[in-house]
Amino acid sequence: MYDLAIIGGELYIDGSYVRKNLYIKDGKIASITDDILDSTDIYNAVGKKVLPGFIDPHVHFELNVGRYTSCDDFYWGSVSGAYGGITTFVDFLDPVDNAKELEDAFISRRKLAEKSVVDYGFHATVKNPVGEVDSIVKTMKKLGLPSVKLFTTYSDSGRRTYDNEIIEFLKLSRKNDFIVLAHIEDDELINLDKSFEVVDLAISRSSRAELNEALKLARYTRDHDGNLYMVHLSSGNTISALRDEYSDILNKNFFIESCPQYFSFGSDVFNKDNGYLYALAPPLRSEEEIGLLVDSFDYIDTIGTDHCPFMKDEKYGKRLVDMPMGIGGIEHSFSVMYSLFGDKVIDKMTVNPAKIHGLYPKKGVLLEGSDGDVVIYDCSRRYVIERNHSRCDYSVYDGYEVVGEVVSTISRGKFVVRDGEFVGGSGEYVRG
Q: How far is the CB of 121 from Zn ion (least distance, A)?
A: 15
Specify the stretch interacting with Zn ion by CB under 5 A; choose among 299-307, 335-343, 381-389, 396-404. Answer: 299-307
* Residue 168 is a binding residue for Zn ion (CB under 5 A): no
* CB of 101 or CB of 306, closer to Zn ion: 306
Q: How far is the CB of 60 from Zn ion (least distance, A)?
A: 6
Site map 254..293 versus Zn ion, x via CB under 5 A: ----------------------------------------
- Return the closest-CA partner of residue 356 out of 172, 145, 147, 61: 147
Specify the stretch interacting with Zn ion by CB under 5 A; choose among 13-21, 116-124, 302-310, 382-390. Answer: 302-310
Beta strand 16-25 pairing with 228-233: unpaired
For residues 404 and 381, what is the distance between their CA atoms, to the nearest angstrom?
5
Specify the stretch interacting with Zn ion by CB under 5 A; choose among 126-134, 155-163, 303-311, 327-335. Answer: 303-311
Q: How far is the CB of 308 from Zn ion (least distance, A)?
A: 6
Q: How far is the CB of 306 from Zn ion (least distance, A)?
A: 4
How many positions of this chain bind Zn ion (CB under 5 A)?
Answer: 1
Indicate the burial class of 14 (C-beta count within 10 angstroms; 0-12, 13-18, 19 or more): exposed
For residues 294 and 38, what is the distance between their CA atoms, to the nearest angstrom?
46
For residues 236 and 253, what is the distance between their CA atoms, to the nearest angstrom?
20
Q: How far is the CB of 183 from Zn ion (least distance, A)?
A: 7
* CB of 261 or CB of 370, closer to Zn ion: 261
Q: Is 59 helix (H, G, I), strand (E, B) or coil?
A: strand
Q: How far is the CB of 281 from Zn ion (least distance, A)?
A: 9
- CA 2, distance to chain mean position in Å, is 32
Quick one: CA dihedral 255, 259, 260, 266, positive or negative? Answer: negative
DSSP 74-99: HHHHHHHHHHTTEEEEEEEPPPBSSH
Specify the stretch interacting with Zn ion by CB under 5 A; choose among 27-35, 294-302, 304-312, 333-341. Answer: 304-312
* CB of 289 or CB of 306, closer to Zn ion: 306
DSSP element (H, E) containing 337: helix 333-341
* Residue 91 is a binding residue for Zn ion (CB under 5 A): no
Question: Cis omega (within 30 of 0) on the bond before 52?
Answer: no
Q: How far is the CB of 146 from Zn ion (least distance, A)?
A: 18
Q: How far is the CB of 231 from Zn ion (least distance, A)?
A: 6
* CB of 129 or CB of 326, closer to Zn ion: 326
Specify the stretch interacting with Zn ion by CB under 5 A; choose among 67-75, 145-153, 235-243, 301-309. Answer: 301-309
- Which residue has the closest beta carbon to Zn ion? 306
* Residues 6+ positions from 326 with CB-CB distance below 8 Å: 60, 63, 70, 279, 280, 281, 306, 307, 308, 309, 310
Main-chain phi, psi angles of 428, to 5 degrees:
-125, 155
* CB of 306 or CB of 347, closer to Zn ion: 306
Q: How far is the CB of 260 from Zn ion (least distance, A)?
A: 14
DSSP 221-278: HHHTT--EEEEEE--HHHHHHHHHH-TTTBTTTEEEEE-HHHHH--GGGGGSTTGGGG
* Residue 306 is a binding residue for Zn ion (CB under 5 A): yes
* CB of 4 or CB of 93, closer to Zn ion: 93
* CB of 48 or CB of 232, closer to Zn ion: 232
* CB of 5 or CB of 201, closer to Zn ion: 201
* CB of 44 or CB of 64, closer to Zn ion: 64
Q: How far is the CB of 58 from Zn ion (least distance, A)?
A: 6
Q: How many residues does the chain have?
A: 432
Interaction site with Zn ion (CB under 5 A): 306
